[in-house]
Chain A
């Protein structure tokens, strides 16, 4: 999959580029971003008194704001740098990812967003546990959440380290510690209010930066994207507009597609955002805005990718970074010189910071709200205690994220993101669908679906060619697919249904009518 291959060894630029040298403009923009977001955090900290403030921004975020924040949570550096890089080096094949990353959003809207807002409180486990037995459901959901969040966090951290080293010339470890510290400040003091506004600022910067870059590219081609594609085809052959070898194995493509489509609807940090708006209607509208913003962004990656291919050239891009991740920054440098390169570099850094903050908050919610408050304390914890535990969990997760980021240095980031999607799609999504829509499901059924969905995904990842052949250098792999979603999503649903049919859960059936009513009408 994509991208952000943290390259080993120093990058040796074969082209005239200032990438990798300390860049004054990048520093100025970067510190401006840090200053603004710390200012927001200070403002948010004074408004963060209750758990509702900390986890759900007092449910006061408007649909438009949440649309931007969802887009900010979702559009990671992998999207911006990775897809632009893939398109610039492979052409059409890269576009397959541009489409794949968007198609999960309609599914979120149709099946999950409104029921989640009406039934739950802070985490997706609230929804699954609404009519099932609390303890087993919360533990299983926390397992799925933490597995997803950890893989996603590692990917972002490793990406951040590699990226910042390439762009600013800082050491990998320094970069990771800076990201960890800034993120901890946002989440710890400003909770969901600060995290939301960091996402909004970041989404605005990212969309603005990408739009500016795309317009500058198009201005060289009479504002006509087709003329740009034609220039690419003239220079590198019509093959760049046709599928290449990326989709050599159709089953791999379908499996990855399933992970992306259903994984989005199981990402804890995305789901948590629906609790920040006042009601289900606002949740619905916010997905509509988010889909539009993210869609426009991915359409712009067509222009950025082919723009970099024509104006920078695939060879020059690969010379700076083998994974192609520096295509967008190089394009910025060609079009706007060092200052614009600095701006785009700062935007990419801000992008990672914001995603990491959202992930940490959702992981902290699973640890404190699901495990501590509802399992250990059986729901009997006052607001002060809940906040204290949530903040402690945040610190713990922040430290773990920094350590894992350093430990996993050099791993393929994009692959780990796709695995996080696979776990979300197999561990979390089936449980949500079964518990919301199926009267007959039982605690045993849903818990086994979550546990088996998560574990089977982890096991099949271990047995996949990427781990066995590429990393462990074995000659073959027991399991043929790079992404296990094609097997694990149906498996998770099947286990949930079969175990439910084999067991009885009177309370779950009894409560269905009330929960179903709440899912539509909301709290009385």
Chain B
């Protein structure tokens, strides 16, 4: 059933998009809330020259990019394959 396949593909994409967005929101606002409410922790030095805050700031940037990588990897393999199947199933009509 092409319609059924489409529904499940659309729902999977929506679930993944919303989950990854939620993760991004949690990471960034977690960082901001730590800055706002736990300044001593952010200022603690892990080693000479590297505070928790600077490390987490760099991590937010790296993690943002990792999240886009996760999505692109999923989409290039599963989502595109699903779309190809759909197009093939509908083509002969």
Tell me the bound Cα distance from A292 to B87 in angstroms.
Answer: 31
Tell me the bound Cα distance from A524 to B13 in angstroms.
Answer: 20
Contact code string B22-49 (vs A, CB < 8 Å = 1, else 0): 0011011101110111010011010111
Task: Collect the chain A residues with CB atoms within 8 Å of residue B65's CB.
Answer: 291-292, 295
B-contacting 9-mer, from A191-199, A223-231, A378-386, A458-466: A223-231
A106 touches B68 (CB 8 A): yes
Tell me the bound Cα distance from A434 to B16 in angstroms.
Answer: 18
A103 touches B24 (CB 8 A): yes
Closest-by-CB residue of B relative to A111 is B17
Partner of A110 from the list B9, B20, B32 (CB cut-off 8 Å) is B20
Task: Collect the chain A residues with CB atoms within 8 Å of residue B36's CB.
Answer: 247, 250, 253-254
Number of interface residues of A (CB under 8 A): 50
- Asked if A172 is an interface residue, CB under 8 A from chain B, the answer is no
Closest-CB distance, B3 to chain A (whole angstroms): 9
Tell me the bound Cα distance from A109 to B53 in angstroms.
Answer: 27
Task: Collect the chain B residues with CB atoms within 8 Å of residue A105's CB.
Answer: 64, 68
Task: Collect the chain A residues with CB atoms within 8 Å of residue B31's CB.
Answer: 99
Give residues of chain A (29-65) contacting chain B, Cβ–Cβ below 8 Å. Answer: none
B-contacting 9-mer, from A147-155, A173-181, A513-521: A513-521
A261 touches B53 (CB 8 A): no
Number of interface residues of B (CB under 8 A): 50
Closest-by-CB residue of B relative to A241 is B51
A111 touching B21 in the complex, CB below 8 Å, given contacts A102-B61, A285-B72: yes
Task: Collect the chain B residues with CB atoms within 8 Å of residue A233's CB.
Answer: 48-49
Closest-CB distance, B15 to chain A (whole angstroms): 11
Closest-CB distance, A163 to chain B (whole angstroms): 26
Closest-CB distance, A117 to chain B (whole angstroms): 13
B13 touches A520 (CB 8 A): yes
A109 touches B54 (CB 8 A): no
Interface of A toward B, CB cutoff 8 Å: 92, 95-96, 98-100, 102-103, 105-107, 109-111, 114, 226-233, 238-239, 241-243, 247, 250, 253-254, 257, 261, 281, 284-285, 287-288, 291-292, 295, 298-299, 302, 437, 516-517, 520-521
A-B contact pairs, 17 of them (CB 8 A): A92-B53, A96-B57, A100-B28, A105-B68, A110-B18, A110-B20, A229-B49, A247-B36, A284-B71, A284-B75, A285-B72, A288-B69, A295-B61, A295-B62, A299-B58, A302-B57, A517-B6
- Given A95-B54, A110-B71, A302-B58: 19 more A-B contacts, CB < 8 Å: A92-B42, A92-B54, A95-B57, A103-B64, A106-B68, A114-B75, A230-B49, A238-B43, A242-B43, A243-B39, A243-B42, A247-B36, A250-B33, A253-B32, A254-B32, A281-B75, A291-B68, A295-B64, A437-B14
